[in-house]
Structure 1
Amino acid sequence: MPTIITHAAVPLALAAAMGPRRIVLPVALVGAALAAVPDADVIGFKFGVAYADAWGHRGASHSLALAAFTAAFLALFWPRARTLPAALFLFVAMASHGVLDMATDGGLGVGLAWPFETGRHFLPARPIRVSPIGAEFFSARGVETLLSELVWVWLPCAVLALTGLRRPVLADARATER
């Protein structure tokens, strides 16, 4: 899995690209939190849930179905999530977790299509190093993980965010010229 910080970077970059008129700051922050939520499935280890089980790590909690359910639930009960852009953003924010995990070089794969299909899958290219857990994070392997995330996630996210942030500036400049 990528680091928890990197999981949050994807929805924050997307929110920046979409702009504050479409994705208000509270929705952007909830999206960043939702991007980390699927890894809460590791609590199952304490209750005897095996890694490869449907509800094991990288299983159902990493699925598109659970991301859709969560976004719909939030839209139902949270007024700020009731616009189509906000609800879609929250879905993509949570779904991005499984997709990023599919790009890592370790683990059993991701149950992205659960409950319709129970297999675990990776992307054809897997350039992101799996993040070490605990004290091992502060090792050479942890540095390798951060470097791979910098190249494969943070730089593309920065480009996405900056591209979106330029649009309103250009629009304001054109409006001032008239």
Structure 2
Amino acid sequence: MPSIITHVAVPLALRLGLGGNVIPARLLACGAIGSMLPDLDVVGMRLGVAYGSDFGHRGFTHSLCFAALVALAGACFYRRLRARFLGAFLFLFAAVASHGLLDTFTNGGRGIEVLWPWSSERYFAPVRPIEVSPLGVRGFFSPRGIEVLKSEVIWVWLPALSAGLALLAARRR
């Protein structure tokens, strides 16, 4: 997986590109949290859930179905998020779904159950340039963790920033 902090690149880029009127601060905060939410599945590893299980790491919590359910639940609070229902749903869906999709571009692990519950097959993208992040804090603050961050800057942060700026430029025309 990209590191947990890198998953927020997508909601941040969308906010940059679409602006605060479309994605208010409260909605952005929920999107940032939502983009990291799928990795709560690592708790299951500590409880003995097998990695390859539907409920294991990169299983159902990384699926498009999970993203839709989280987005639907979050969008129910659209007034508190100072957004419209559809806008909140679409933004939250993009934020949560981007997690699993970004993970498909990593060079480690056993793939992502993107299509759960319709399929338990785990997928990777055809190209996998992102260095997989170590799961523990100790591994993250190591030379390998630095390599992961470099990889994420190149393959996630710079493209996300570029996309956000392109949306911003298009919006200002």
Q: TM-score, normalised by structure 2?
A: 0.92
1:2-49 deviation per Cα after TM superposition (whole angstroms, max 9, x unaligned): 111110111111121111121111101110110000000111122221
Which residue of the partner structure matches residue 129 of structure 1?
A: 131
When structure 1 is superposed on structure 2, of 77-86 and 11-20 the one drifting more is 77-86
Structure 2 residue 164 is the aligned partner of structure 1 residue 161: yes
Amino acid at match of 2:98: S
Whole-Å Cα distance in 1 between the matches of residues 167 and 118 of structure 2?
A: 35
Whole-Å Cα distance in 2 between the matches of residues 77 and 29 of structure 1?
A: 13
Whole-Å Cα distance in 2 between the matches of residues 22 and 29 of structure 1?
A: 13
Secondary structure at the residue paired with 1:53? coil
Structure 1 spans left out of the alignment, 5+ residues: 172-178
Q: Percent identity?
A: 49
When structure 1 is superposed on structure 2, of 106-115 and 11-20 the one drifting more is 11-20
| 2:86 aligned residue (84, 87, 90) | 84
Whole-Å Cα distance in 1 between the matches of residues 137 and 22 of structure 2?
A: 37
| 2:151 aligned residue (131, 145, 148) | 148
Amino acid at match of 1:92: A
Which residue of the partner structure matches residue 106 of structure 1?
A: 108
Shift, 1:167, TM fit: 4.6
Whole-Å Cα distance in 1 between the matches of residues 157 and 40 of structure 2?
A: 23
Of Structure 1 and Structure 2, which has the larger fraction of its residues in helix? 1
Structure 2 spans left out of the alignment, 5+ residues: none
Shift, 1:83, TM fit: 2.7
Paired residues of 2:35 and 2:98 also in contact (CA < 8 A) = yes
Which residue of the partner structure matches residue 96 of structure 1?
A: 98
Whole-Å Cα distance in 2 between the matches of residues 49 and 16 of structure 1?
A: 38
Shift, 1:136, TM fit: 2.0
1:61-112 deviation per Cα after TM superposition (whole angstroms, max 9, x unaligned): 0000011011111122442354322210100100000001100000010001
Paired residues of 1:76 and 1:82 also in contact (CA < 8 A) = no
Paired residues of 1:12 and 1:29 also in contact (CA < 8 A) = no
- Runs of 4+ deviating beyond 4 Å: none
Structure 2 residue 63 is the aligned partner of structure 1 residue 59: no
Q: TM-score, normalised by structure 1?
A: 0.89
Whole-Å Cα distance in 2 between the matches of residues 123 and 162 of structure 1?
A: 25
1:118-171 deviation per Cα after TM superposition (whole angstroms, max 9, x unaligned): 111100000000112321222221111111101110101111222233355x45
Indicate the RMSD between aligned Cα atoms, in angstroms.
Answer: 1.5
